[in-house]
Amino acid sequence: MTVLGRGGRKPGEPIYLRRHLIVLALAVGLPVVLLQLYKIYVGTVSFGAQMGFGILVSIFAGIILYYTYRSSAQNQP
């Protein structure tokens, strides 16, 4: 039986704050929202363009998320 201290986390488990999860959800949902807005206001988009745009936005959002929150998401000692 393992004794969990300080919020119930195991040693070495990452500390995820509420802001990390909110920004992660934004990074995941942003490509979908942007594509839907484009379809509403501009017009239809081919499947290949949708996939390319989704992958590109996801990569950039992931990089921004990593560099923004890497210092506050350190592993617990």
Q: Which token pair is 39?
A: 């379809």
Whether 23 and 57 have beta carbons less than 8 Å apart is answered as: no
pLDDT confidence of residue 47: 87
Task: Name the residue ranges covered by the structural domains of the chain.
Answer: 29-69
Below-70 pLDDT ranges, the chain: 1-17, 71-77
* Closest CA relative to residue 73, chosen from 28, 18, 6: 18
pLDDT in tens, 16-38: 667 777 877 887 888 888 888 88
